[in-house]
């Protein structure tokens, strides 16, 4: 056997011993790492954080709070008081809330309904109290024909005359929100966050 072959044999002989050993040792190391209690790990992290090396700083992650268009003069929200039926003419009660943030000269609301939706109870338009500032003024309507057989959209619009300008806002309610991109958006964001997290490893 040549010297090269002998060295190769010794190498594989050692490797056959050390590779499984190293794998076992790796898992032992991970187990030890995982067994560190939260406090001891936190101490190590905080020690590193005190150094504030730029390369160690975790990328800032943007997380917006629940905010809205804060300067809007009229704010409108809308929700269904009962489940939207799959089909048929079962009634649905919709409740809207309109908030005026400034003192207007006058204020009003109106519902915009699809042609195949009928009113059972309530008015499609009316006046709001212009003196109620910062208080949700509720408007309610009972309808039929608003079902999930097809995408149907109902709008509630609030308007206020303020400082020689007419301000307003509209909110929509879909009979099939599950068909919207808004419905899918959180999982899309989750995918992006997961990819970013994977890359940080």
In the complex, which residues of this chain contact another protein (CB under 8 A)? 18, 21-23, 25-26, 28-30, 59-74, 77, 101-102, 112, 133-134, 153, 155, 157, 159, 162-163, 165-172, 174, 177, 180-195, 197-199, 201
CA nearest 148: which of 178, 185, 122, 190? 178
State the minimum distance, in angstroms, from the CB of residue 175 to another protein: 10
Choice between 8 and 112, CB closer to another protein:
112
State the minimum distance, in angstroms, from the CB of residue 25 to another protein: 4
State the minimum distance, in angstroms, from the CB of residue 143 to another protein: 18
Cα distances (Å, whole numbers) of residue 113 to 94, 142, 168, 185, 196: 12, 12, 18, 27, 43
- Per DSSP, 133 falls in state B
Please write down the HEC assignment for all residues of 74-121.
Answer: EEEEEEECCCCCCCCCCCEEEEEEEEECCCCCEEEEEEECCCCCEEEE
Total number of residues shown for the chain: 201
* CB 156 within 8 Å of CB 76: yes
Write down the H helix ranges in the chain.
3-35, 38-51, 181-200
State the minimum distance, in angstroms, from the CB of residue 163 to another protein: 4
Choice between 92 and 113, CB closer to another protein:
113
Choice between 68 and 83, CB closer to another protein:
68
Choice between 2 and 66, CB closer to another protein:
66
State the minimum distance, in angstroms, from the CB of residue 76 to another protein: 10
Choice between 64 and 88, CB closer to another protein:
64
* CA 43 and chain centroid, separation: 33
State the minimum distance, in angstroms, from the CB of residue 113 to another protein: 12
* CB 139 within 8 Å of CB 124: no
Choice between 116 and 190, CB closer to another protein:
190
Six token digits for residue 32: 């030890």
Distance CA 121, CA 112 (A): 15
């Amino acid at each position: 056997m040549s010297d090269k072959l002998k060295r190769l044999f010794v190498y594989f002989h050692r490797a056959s011993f050390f590779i499984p050993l190293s794998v076992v040792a790796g898992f032992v190391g991970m187990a030890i790492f995982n067994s560190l209690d939260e406090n001891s790990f936190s101490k190590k992290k905080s020690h590193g954080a005190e150094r504030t090396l730029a390369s160690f700083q975790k990328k800032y992650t943007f997380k917006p709070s629940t905010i809205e268009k804060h300067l809007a003069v009229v704010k409108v929200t809308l929700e269904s008081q009962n489940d939207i039926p799959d089909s048929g003419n079962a009634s649905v009660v919709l409740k809207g809330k309109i908030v005026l943030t400034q003192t207007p000269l006058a204020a009003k609301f109106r519902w915009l309904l699809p042609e195949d939706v009928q009113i059972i109870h309530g008015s499609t338009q009316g006046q709001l109290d212009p003196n109620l500032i910062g208080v949700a003024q509720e408007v309610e309507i009972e309808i039929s024909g608003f079902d999930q057989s097809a995408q149907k959209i109902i709008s509630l619009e609030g308007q206020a005359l303020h400082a020689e300008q007419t301000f307003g806002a509209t909110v929509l309610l879909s009979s099939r929100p599950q068909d919207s991109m808004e419905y899918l958006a959180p999982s899309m964001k989750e995918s992006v966050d997961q990819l970013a997290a994977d890359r940080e490893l």
